[in-house]
Amino acid sequence: MPAEIDFYFDFSSSYSYVATPGIIEIADKRDVSVNWKPILLGVIFNALGHAPPAADSPKMRHAQRDLERCAEAAGLPPFGFPTPFPFAAITASRAFWYLHDSDPDKAVEWAKAVFNASFAERRDCSSPEVLSDIAAGLGHDPQQLLEATATDAVKARFKAVTGEAMERGVFGAPTFFVGDEMFWGGDRLAHLERFLDKA
């Protein structure tokens, strides 16, 4: 059986948020590790000429209800879009990579907390104040964490992982890989699960 799943996501991706319980459950049942990999989806969209749907579009109106159903099915709190949406997730993502280098488990805790703050509490996770509150709640030094996100090493790490995702063919989030096999979207977790069971 493959030893790990690569999970590419953007903190501003609502469908990445609702997919997290499912990928955790799938991995735990099979004793497979998950490599959480936040990326900057906007860079990929720009490269591909994609654009998110307008806030008042039929697609976004449908997404609101669809995500409410997805969150309920996943056992998550009631879903809501934060304001603004989409939001700039650069700082939150860089903070993840800073934490990851010393303790991957703490980085995953951070990811879950940012997702919850964004889509359950509807807070603006592009705000340094909100991110500081999240950091303090997890026992981190907020000032130290935010200062770390401005270092060249952390910036380079985040940029490199986004480039890695592009090279692997990622065009949206969430995207999962088992080896070279790609699965796009939280609604494809059942296919990923079957692939693992056949491996």
Give yes or no for a contact between 149 and 125, defined as CB atoms under 8 angstroms apart. no
Please state whether beta strands 4-9 and 33-38 pair in parallel, antiparallel, or not at all (unpaired): parallel
Q: Which residue has the tokens 């079957």?
A: 194
Give pLDDT, residue 73. Answer: 97
* Structure-block tokens of residue 2: 């493959």
Tell me: pLDDT of 128 over 70: yes
Q: Top-level CATH class of 4-198?
A: alpha beta
Question: Mind listing the pLDDT tens digit for each residue in 77-118?
Answer: 999 999 999 999 999 999 999 999 999 999 999 999 999 999
Sheet holding 4-9, edge to edge: 33-38, 4-9, 175-178, 181-184
Tell me: pLDDT of 53 over 90: no
Tell me: pLDDT of 24 over 60: yes
**Mean of pLDDT values over 157-163:** 98
Instruction: Tell me the C-alpha distance between 174 and 8, whole Å.
Output: 6
pTM: 0.96
CA 55 to chain centre: 21
Q: Where are the domains of the chain?
A: 4-198
